């Protein structure tokens, strides 16, 4: 029963990431602010990692990252690797250093999503295109704040999912 | 924490990261992979449905947002435009007829246009793409391949950069990755259309490498030249908005405003094949050499 509930939870996470990927990719669905749209997969994998153990957290980080890579059409694996490391560390942090609540989730999202977007800028933009400072202030920074807005919603969604399936487990 | 360093979790993480970095390097050099194809196969139909639903809802609300007066004004303006275009069409038909007669008199043969097209719908726009790239719902099964130009009725919008079985990723004309050989049909001056993050954010393009004595003016139409064989000739790109002095040398550049709103394209056509595709140098049409000789004589 315990394994069955875990499988159900993992399937729900997979479905959630797939749906969020479609939502973030659909043109005209999420209104652009300062010409940018949010990356919903980033707060989703952060929220999942807050509740799951290290290896499942890393696995969902990889899945979310592969979706990001696929959507961008860049080399498959960059976001996967970055989010694998970050989700692993977030899971470790939430299990050993701090309690999980909205405040710590926001704090975690702040550094984790910030690092991911900085890595995007550095590895995918800085060496390849012109005017990196302009791109950072006019594209990456607004995208970071816009993405962060969705963290509370996805935190409560994943907390509800985790608690519901874990309660059945008990 | 001690358990963490002794446990197997860290080893799993290291293996996963090494495999993913290997995959990233492999896909960056060799192109698409089985995993990317699989993700495309799963997500493309769902993205297509989501885009249709969103498009329908957006269209409904857009129409509702017009007031009666605004709709009246819009109809009036469109009727005026229609009258002006009808007059232009009469002139065009006259010119066309005259052109056909002259061709018959001079016995000029003409290559029939052989562009092979494939209609597609935009199903995705990635928020991580700085340059407004997008995904379309046609892939290799429809004959689409990497490097195929993508157009709309308003002109060139981009080039296919990744192809999966049922979907493709298109690099937008606003991207710094693209450089298009272009020409002004009015002034017969050529240059290279590029973009940067600043021009891309305002939906504009740059026509570089113009001479310091360029005669280009605001309103001149810029089209592809066909040089290099990457794009068919005479596809509209946009019109000149202003001509400025280059920051680095004495040359000038023109700011081009595309006719199409490149960041909000919905339906496109992929040019699967066209005459001269892949040829390094532009070719003269049949009869062009004879015509040139006649001009010389």
> What does the pLDDT profile of chain A (170 residues) look like in tens digits?
567 888 899 999 999 999 999 899 988 888 999 889 999 999 999 999 999 999 999 999 999 999 998 888 777 889 999 999 999 999 999 988 888 999 999 999 999 999 999 999 999 999 999 999 999 999 999 999 999 999 999 999 999 999 888 755 44
Residue B119 and residue B41 share a domain: no
**Cα dihedral angle (A146, A150, A152, A154), rounded to 10 degrees?**
-160
Q: Is residue B243 part of a domain?
A: yes
Q: Is residue B100 part of a domain?
A: no
Q: Is residue B94 part of a domain?
A: no
Q: Determine the Cα–Cα distance for residues B192 and A59; give it in Å rounded to an integer.
A: 45
Q: Which domain holds residue B282?
A: 112-296
Residue B34 and residue B117 share a domain: no
Instruction: Give, as one character, the DSSP assignment of residue B63.
Output: H
Q: Is residue B145 part of a domain?
A: yes
Would you call A70 and B36 a contact, using CB atoms and an 8 Å cutoff?
yes
Among A42, A58, A73, A123, the residue to mutate for chain B (most B Cβ within 10 A): A73
Q: Determine the Cα–Cα distance for residues B247 and B231; give it in Å rounded to an integer.
A: 28
Q: Is residue B35 part of a domain?
A: yes
What is the count of structural domains for chain B? 2
Point out the domain boundary residue: B27, B46, B64.
B64
Residue B40 and residue B144 share a domain: no
DSSP SS3 for B144? coil
Tokens of residue A133, six digits: 């400072």
Q: Judge contact between B264 and A32, C-beta under 8 A.
A: no
Residue B262 and residue B141 share a domain: yes
Residue B49 and residue B195 share a domain: no
DSSP SS3 for B254? strand
A56 Cβ under 8 Å from any chain B Cβ? no
Residue of B nearest to A65 (CA): B20
In this complex, the residue of B4, B135, B197 whose CB is nearest that of residue A92 is: B4
CATH number of residue B230's parent domain:
2.40.10.340
Residue B48 and residue B119 share a domain: no
Q: Determine the Cα–Cα distance for residues B54 and A27; give it in Å rounded to an integer.
A: 8
Q: Which domain holds residue A46?
A: 2-169
Q: Is residue B256 part of a domain?
A: yes
Q: Which residues of B touch A76 (CB under 8 A)?
A: 23-24, 27, 33, 35-36
What is the average per-residue pLDDT within B94-103?
Answer: 84
Please give, rounded to a whole number of angstroms, the shortest distance from the CA of A92 to a CA of chain B: 9
What is the count of structural domains for chain A? 1
Residue B124 and residue B42 share a domain: no
Is a pLDDT exceeding 90 seen at residue B153?
Answer: no
Q: Is residue B172 part of a domain?
A: yes
Would you call B125 and A77 a contact, using CB atoms and an 8 Å cutoff?
no
DSSP SS3 for B170? strand
Residues 107-146 of A with CB under 8 A from B: 120, 125, 128-131, 134-135, 138-139, 143
Q: Determine the Cα–Cα distance for residues A88 and A135; give it in Å rounded to an integer.
A: 29
Q: Determine the Cα–Cα distance for residues B224 and B185; give it in Å rounded to an integer.
A: 10
Residue B259 and residue B186 share a domain: yes
Burial code (b: 16+ CB inside 10 Å, e: under 16) for B14-49 equals eebbeebeebbeebeeeebeebbbebbeebbebbbe
* Host H or E run for residue B172: strand B168-172
């Amino acid at each position: 029963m315990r394994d069955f509930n875990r499988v159900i939870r993992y399937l729900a996470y997979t479905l959630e990431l797939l749906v969020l990927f479609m939502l973030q990719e659909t043109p005209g669905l999420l209104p652009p602010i300062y010409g940018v749209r949010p990356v919903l997969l980033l707060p989703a994998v952060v929220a999942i990692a807050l509740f799951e153990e290290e290896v499942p957290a890393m696995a969902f980080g990889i899945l979310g990252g592969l979706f990001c890579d696929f959507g961008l059409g860049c080399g498959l694996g960059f976001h996967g690797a970055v989010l694998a490391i970050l989700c692993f560390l977030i899971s470790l942090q939430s299990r050993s250093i701090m309690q999980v609540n909205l405040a710590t989730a926001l704090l975690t999202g702040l550094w984790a999503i910030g690092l991911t977007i900085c890595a995007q800028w550095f590895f995918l933009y800085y060496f390849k295109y012109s005017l990196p400072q302009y791109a950072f202030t006019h594209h990456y920074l607004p995208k970071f704040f816009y993405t962060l807005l969705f963290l509370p919603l996805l935190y409560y969604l994943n907390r509800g999912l985790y608690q519901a399936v874990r309660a059945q487990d008990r | 924490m001690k358990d963490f360093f002794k446990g197997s979790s860290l080893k799993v993480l290291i293996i996963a990261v090494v495999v993913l970095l290997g995959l990233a390097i492999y896909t960056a050099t060799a192109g698409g992979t089985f995993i990317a194809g699989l993700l495309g196969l799963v997500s493309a139909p769902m993205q297509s449905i989501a885009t249709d639903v969103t498009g329908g809802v957006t269209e409904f609300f857009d129409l509702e947002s017009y007031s009666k007066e605004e709709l009246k004004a819009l109809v009036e303006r469109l009727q005026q435009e229609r009258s002006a275009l009808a007059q232009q069409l009469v002139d065009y038909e006259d010119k066309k007829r005259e052109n056909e007669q002259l061709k018959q008199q001079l016995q000029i043969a003409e290559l029939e246009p052989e562009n092979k097209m494939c209609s597609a719908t935009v199903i995705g726009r990635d928020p991580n793409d700085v340059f407004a790239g997008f995904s379309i719902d046609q892939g290799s099964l429809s004959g689409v391949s990497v490097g195929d130009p993508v157009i709309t009725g308003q002109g060139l919008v981009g080039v296919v950069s990744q192809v999966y079985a049922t979907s493709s990723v298109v690099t937008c004309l606003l991207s710094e990755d693209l450089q298009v050989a272009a020409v002004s049909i009015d002034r017969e001056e050529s240059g290279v259309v590029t973009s940067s993050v600043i021009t891309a954010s305002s939906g504009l393009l740059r026509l570089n490498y113009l001479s310091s004595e360029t005669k280009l003016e605001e309103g001149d139409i810029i089209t592809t030249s066909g040089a290099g064989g990457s794009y068919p000739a005479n596809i509209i790109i946009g019109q000149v908005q202003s001509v400025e002095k280059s920051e680095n040398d004495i040359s000038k550049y023109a700011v081009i405003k595309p006719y199409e709103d490149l960041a909000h394209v919905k339906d496109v056509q992929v040019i699967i094949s066209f005459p001269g595709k892949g040829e390094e140098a532009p070719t003269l049409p049949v009869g062009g050499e004879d015509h040139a000789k006649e001009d010389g004589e």
